Chain A
């Protein structure tokens, strides 16, 4: 067990945290898989509208890496394929046929002992896309040998799910998943937890437990990478989302592809924030219906820092485990910059008297205009890595790839700098700067 104490960071005190209880399960008739959830791939469809598919059947593959195929996340008919600009595939929508889903045969799971066995098994059964890699935060390349593998079970993002609660009944599958994932690397398997959670994991000798303390982004994979497992030269590190472990575990141990996940719905405008038993790519409308305080709202697939804006008819993103909902506000307060403070303001700066005490009703307001960057050390307050983030951002603006590498761009990702954008008084979007730098390097290679 290793203890990692993070000091810099900030837990945003936002209203509408989910209570640790389940909301009534909604009947899910459709599901969607969006190739847009995966970076840097060129999807080529293997099905067309109207085809009947089974859970786990290949739906599309990556033209750049044809051995990686994506699974059908439901059994039934492909009811619609939505295209966007320049014929990019936006969504593949399934009409779920429950009877067909229940009659599925399990696949053989014998002989999963070496890296090769497990990789082949995952590729054959189209579950490879559950494995992502750093740098670039994209689907891993099966032929790489990762320096290590990191699974974070400490989701510190605002309004995020608590894995200790959602995975409490999944012990058997989590252990199975971790046991097989360990075989994928020559290095260590790191599992990140919060103190006092997942006690049974400490008995497993093949993994390295890391207990993180401190505010967000303490539980981010990037923080562990920067502190314990820095990425050098051509290193890659693989990661798996905590809430996907039961899916992988069941696949490894029983040969069954079960797309069930537990997610949460939270935010200041949610009447009853709580946990939901649903499935991968579930529509969000069924969960939001009757559970919103009526207002103009923004629905976010994922957390409020890094999630994507979707509409009421939208679907949960592949890697997302939360539906966060905040008010779309167009409110303009008179001489707002002179406001003394109180519960109507929230800031990591001590600039408002009596603010931050109660959970705050955040809205989509940017709370200020975009301005030239003034380095008042706001980013550094919430960025717990040994990286000069200000210099890194400048090297990206200057398109200087060598310097980006030297300043450690491979160790961080958009999600790790999201808080920097949150606190920046100049309202700079640091995440998109980092992404631009990573894109530049990726397409340059």
Chain B
């Protein structure tokens, strides 16, 4: 270990200011601190510091996402076996799925690392570990058979337009992972539109996702009935909870997402307020729509709150995307409003607008945009209290 430490120390001198490699200092700093924790000391008070740093914060989110990858890979294999009518063991299903997941993951990280490192060098800021989370999130929101070149471009778009042009981590407005996904959704609609089947099958294999069924019914019925009538997949509530249904790689298994949520809340880095408020907003709006469904022939209005929670990527988006600290509202009260509106908008976009079967992505992006405005009014009330006291 000391040998490696010395190599890093010696090589570090080449990257100091005025030395030939000084332009690549951020790259050296990142490598150095990933291998060995920094020996940087406090200079003045507080003379002691907590052991939590940004590396660990970001790494914790990545940990919470790993089970999503594992189940996602298995699910790809499982659905493929179903479509091609072969029987495979659990391990084989997993390996089959991994052969789709790994290339996407690798391409995302290569694309993300190129963008992050280039910007770190040009802008002379440290490599921020946040890009690891962005890159870990992007593949989970993709269909399994997404073309890799699209992933490469989408990731680059997300990191550059979603984050770096605003000044990097801490100053971005939109969640970079969702920016990437939104870009791909609109740029490559044939692969990403969400109503066609999201599973790996033989050529010409097709079918409808859970959200597309009540969106385009052949005959009006309640959403529950329509889902139950589907013969291609088991869209029962339990099966949708366990996630053995087509969808983006990481979002189908709700149990794993809930465990991830509990983990992040326990550690203290994701806001339970945002999550709870989103669920309240969704249940509230869905209940109102249920009441109004008798006056309409839109089957989407009959989706019960519980079905809304289990169908599609709502939980995944709320737990891992909406809670992203930089782009969410920053104040406690603000988080309640921010979360609630995500829930409301998700149901609105899903039910009222037939063009977008899934609404959570757009709901979060829209609320990302409103986050600073919400905070402004929350903080303003504190200011007004102080002004009133002064008067």
Contact = CB atoms under 8 A, between A and B. Distances in A.
A367 B47 CA distance: 11
Given A337-B55, A390-B330, A349 B325 contact: no
B54 A377 contact: no
A364 B41 contact: yes
A102 interface: no
A117 B326 CA distance: 56
B382 A407 contact: yes
Nearest to A328: B41
A308 B48 contact: no
Interface in A318-344: 324, 326, 328-338
Sorted from nearest, which 4 A-B pairs have the closest CB atoms?
A: A368-B53, A336-B37, A372-B170, A362-B48
Contacts of A12: 48
A377 B37 contact: no
Contacts of A422: 46, 48-50
A202 interface: no
A366 B267 contact: no
A306 B45 contact: yes
A173 B1 CA distance: 60
B126 interface: yes
Contacts of A369: 29, 33, 38, 40, 53-55, 126
A374 B326 contact: yes
Given A335-B35, A349-B268, A365-B49, A432 B331 contact: no
B170 A334 contact: no
Contacts of A308: 44-45
B53 A425 contact: yes
A366 to B, nearest CB: 5
A91 to B, nearest CB: 18
B66 interface: no
B50 A376 contact: no
Contacts of B169: 371-372, 374
Given A232-B389, A377-B271, A332 B39 contact: yes
Contact of A364 (B48, B55, B331): B48
Interface in B72-114: none
B52 A368 contact: yes
Most buried by A among B36, B45, B271: B45
A108 interface: no
B1 A334 contact: yes
Interface string B354-388: 00000000000000000000010011001100110
B47 A391 contact: no
Contact of A408 (B37, B59, B386): B386
Given A365-B42, A367-B50, 6 more contacts: A14-B48, A332-B38, A337-B53, A346-B51, A366-B49, A421-B49
Size range of the chain B interface in the assembly: 35 or more
A386 to B, nearest CB: 7
A388 B331 contact: yes
Contacts of B267: 349-351
Nearest to B171: A372
A189 interface: no
Given A331-B39, A407-B379, A423 B50 contact: yes
Interface stretch (A31-39, A179-187, A297-305): A297-305
A188 to B, nearest CB: 17
A97 interface: no
Contacts of A141: none
A380 B331 CA distance: 9
A168 to B, nearest CB: 29
Interface string B159-171: 0000000001111
A380 B50 contact: no
B54 A371 contact: yes
Interface in A407-442: 407-408, 414, 418-419, 421-427, 429, 431-432
A333 B44 contact: no
B38 A372 contact: no
B46 A306 contact: yes
Nearest to B40: A366
B34 interface: yes
B54 A368 contact: yes
B390 interface: yes
B130 A374 contact: yes
A406 interface: yes
Contacts of A333: 36-37
Nearest to B33: A369
Given A386-B382, A388-B379, A408-B386, A427 B49 contact: yes
Interface in A168-184: none
Interface in A20-58: none
Given A346-B51, A348-B50, A365 B39 contact: yes
A363 B47 CA distance: 8
Contact of B325 (A326, A334, A347, A375): A375
Given A338-B59, A350-B267, A326 B379 contact: no
B36 A425 contact: no
B42 A381 contact: no
Contacts of B46: 304-306, 418-419, 421-422, 431
B332 interface: yes
A347 B59 CA distance: 16
A419 B49 CA distance: 9
B115 interface: no
Contact of B128 (A14, A345, A362, A371): A371
B390 to A, nearest CB: 5
Contacts of B53: 337, 367-369, 371, 425-427
Given A346-B50, A348-B50, A390-B330, A337 B59 contact: yes
Which of B44, B271, B330 has the most CB atoms of chain A within a 10 A radius of its CB?
B44
B52 A365 contact: no
Contact of B268 (A324, A364, A367, A381): A381
10 contacts: A332-B38, A348-B50, A348-B268, A365-B39, A367-B50, A369-B40, A369-B54, A371-B128, A390-B331, A391-B379
B60 interface: yes
A332 B4 CA distance: 12
Contacts of B268: 348-351, 376-378, 381
Interface in A382-403: 386-388, 390-391, 403
